[in-house]
Amino acid sequence: MTGRDAERSGAGPINGVEHVLDVRKLSKVYGAGETAVHALRDVDLTVRRGEYVAVIGQSGSGKSTLLNMLGCLDAPTSGRYLLEGLDVAYLDERQQAVLRNRQIGFVFQAFNLIPRTTALANVELPLVYAGVGRRVRRDRAMAALALVGLQGREDHRPNQLSGGQQQRVAVARALVTGPALLLADEPTGNLDSRSTADALALFDRLHASGRTIVLITHDDEVAARAERVVVVSDGRLSETARR
């Protein structure tokens, strides 16, 4: 068993790394000079393995910017970001792609499934980029779909699924590579109340099984399900009471 496979199992610290996320004095500035916008100012954040953290804040508070940094979709202006003990700043574009593929699972507000492509093919996609063989890929994608309660729907295309079902496909896709970190950006933003309840129950189950989850929301009820809530306001971070 290689070190990477061990990491994927998602249980226990590896190589003495206890924090999945370790962010120090992270800043992001858009533009320059007079018109510069400070989206994030000296943010410190650590997330332990198996933690379920909700990031809340008003629209424009910088919480989406923070999520993009954490997901390696955007580069910080200054500060340090360790993911599984690895300094992301030293990775090139290809290595960052590998990191996103292996260590991070994204769940977006708009689901972001590939159109005209079956649920199964959507869930298989990260495994294709990981170079997993066809049969193993299919088995793991089927297992991920079963985990989110979508067995029997693998041949449906996104436009044949409800919003709640599409979001569950997206969660299955995020989980299929066994990432260290599940990043969810307003996952319930486009869902009705019943689907929201289903999705939150799913996150609770994933948390109970030891997944590390960072969830961004503006909804206090959603945040209340998390173990820990951090508030982003005007680019600064503050902790609220732990549950």
Interface with another protein: number of residues (CB under 8 A): 28
Count other Cβ atoms within 10 Å, centred on residue 224: 13
The verdict on 89 binding another protein (CB under 8 A) reads no
Shortest gap between Cβ of 242 and another protein (angstroms)?
Answer: 30
The verdict on 130 binding another protein (CB under 8 A) reads yes
Nearer to another protein, 101 or 196 (CB): 101
The verdict on 42 binding another protein (CB under 8 A) reads no
Determine the interface stretch with another protein among 21-29, 52-60, 99-107, 212-220 (rule: CB under 8 A).
99-107
Shortest gap between Cβ of 6 and another protein (angstroms)?
Answer: 19
Q: How many CA atoms lie within 13 A of 25 on its CB side?
A: 2
DSSP H or E stretch at residue 6? helix 3-8
Shortest gap between Cβ of 93 and another protein (angstroms)?
Answer: 6
Distance, in Å, from the CA atom of 106 to the CA atom of 129, rounded to the nearest integer, reads 15
The verdict on 37 binding another protein (CB under 8 A) reads no
Distance, in Å, from the CA atom of 53 to the CA atom of 214, rounded to the nearest integer, reads 5
The verdict on 68 binding another protein (CB under 8 A) reads yes
* Both structure tokens of 37: 């916008």
51 near 60, Cβ under 8 Å? no
Most distant CA pair in the chain: distance in Å? Answer: 56
> Would you give the binding string for another protein spanning residues 131-170, x where CB under 8 A is met?
x---------------------------------------
Q: Which residues of 106-126 are buried (b: 16+ CB within 10 A; e: fewer)?
A: bbbbebebeeeebbbbbbbbb
Residues binding another protein (CB under 8 A): 68, 71, 73-74, 93-94, 97-102, 106, 108, 112-117, 125-126, 128-131, 173, 177
